[in-house]
Structure 1
Amino acid sequence: MSTESISLTITYRGVTHPLSLLPDETVAMLQARLEELTSVPPSHQKLLLKGKKLADEKATVRDAGLKDGMKVQLLGPTAEEIGGLKKTEDEQHRRDRILRERASKPQAKVRSTASPSSAASSTYKIHKIEPLPHLPNPESARALLQRLAEDPAIRHVMQKHQFAVGVLTELAPHEHPELLGLNVNAGQAIKLRLRTDRYDGFRNYREVRRVLCHELTHNVHGDHDNNFKELNSKLNKEVAEYETSVSQGTHRLADAWGGIYEPSTGLEAEAHAHVLGGGVASGRVASGDTPEERRRRVLEATMRRLQKEEEELEQSCGTAGPSAMT
């Protein structure tokens, strides 16, 4: 066995870890050392060398192409984070088991004082939000996640399509630089990129919400096939219709939860710009248009923009696979 060690620099979540290994030691030994340093289990470690994954655990450090002075990036959740998702999954399985048992037994009819809309609002929603505590300004991230969870347009489409999300949390830019969103197990958890790449602020709210609509579609369809695109387009349209109907009406709408929804004028102005060919200097739409015609034009312009943005978003979505629901 060679006695001349190889010095490596491992980066994980913005922290560097210097390591020295013998050339004949295996990648599995490297992973064991990294587990001690970062608490990421070897089974969940993803090691990237010049953008390529080190996949063979039995390979030696030398055969894996690791050389003195190289930098390796480590990706993966910690054991504590895995435990949190496992706990959520176990709770979901417990609820499913109880529901199956109830469905198999005759039930006595009980008069309920709760309205159907109240029952739906308590079931089809985002049940929990979790910012990442190890990232800067977790309270600001929590406020953004809370705003998404309580967004009237999002709650509208979730109840309409009977979507439920166990946990809404965030993606760290340095862990998944290529992703904007990820849906875990058809809604068990949805992860969104909230922050800018340099951690000096947060991404535009409407862009993040658009990614959320994309990931909600993965509650039903895993792959980005025609079925996915049809449903995703429908969700985007329903969100746009919801907001356009409000903006073309009183600009204030009491929703089913007792709150008051006041839409931003930014979307309306942007849509008018598309309708008028790139300018809203006059601040007016074509004279003679009825309110319904103005609403239709705003909606059509909005949908054209959303369709173009959705094509770009598919390249930044980490969810793929067979249909999420069978």
Structure 2
Amino acid sequence: MSNEKINFKVGYKSHTITFDQWSLDSTVEEVKHYLEQETELPMDSQKLMWKGRILKDPQVCLTDLGVQDGSKLMLMGSLPVQIEKVTLQDQKIVEQRKLTPAIRLKKKQLLQQQKPNPNAKYTFHKISVIPEFPHPEKAQSLLEKLRDDRGIRAIMADRKWSVGELIELTPFEASILGYNRNAGQLIALRLRTDDLSGFRHYDSVRKVLLHELTHNVWGDHDDNFHALNRQLNKDVVNLDWTAHGANTLGHGEFYTPEGEEDMESDVLYEAGTYRLGAGSKSTTGLDTPEARRQRAAQAALSRLTKKEEQEMDEGCGSH
């Protein structure tokens, strides 16, 4: 029997367990017993490794293994609570796999029962904004509002128009309000004011959109073009109004385009533009709920004037 004492270590996960002054005659079983006390890892769950191999014989001595002073062994294993968690997780995975075919079948049946929307394809299939400019989320919201505008949706469904992409036009294109590329492949709209501090009035941007949609049919700004554009400006109100109902104008009740009041709650309305971050601007009689409804109704039902037609013709970059 050897009386030689050595110091060695056992690495376990991120910890190091030190064995000071252990006899070379100590067995693997004795080492594991000590490790159980230090780590709470049961001996039968321990995998003690030395020089890349698992020590399976519990009675072999350290001296027979060639363990020397300063040697380092490795310990692997999981606590019972960890094993239990893994087992439960495995059971859940097995149960989910059993249920997956039934869930897929149910989803398939539900999809088959749902009637497809025949007008779903008559829309703007992609929306893009310029992320480098201030408040891109506001620009995104404005384009989405135009896409989802009930009057716009009704017009596109009625005329079976499908536009590939609706994008924000860079405000550096100072002379252009919008353009339509290849009769509906892409439509671009100016959303921002010239100083980039705010956004143009929703009704003004929508009129430009209707102008560009007219280019789906007519290329030149001739009488045919203007006749259709004027009709679209009537239809955008009438189709929404008749399809969804509305309050009568007068007696304190007004038609409000969807989302109009929500947008005014966080931007300031000034002379045809919305300005972000300007704070509240007090103007007597202009900030009451009824006044906001009046402005919304007036904007929604305003006629397309000759001046507006001329401005949009001159600001149109369609080709």
Normalising by structure 2, we get a TM-score of 0.47
Larger-Rg structure = 2
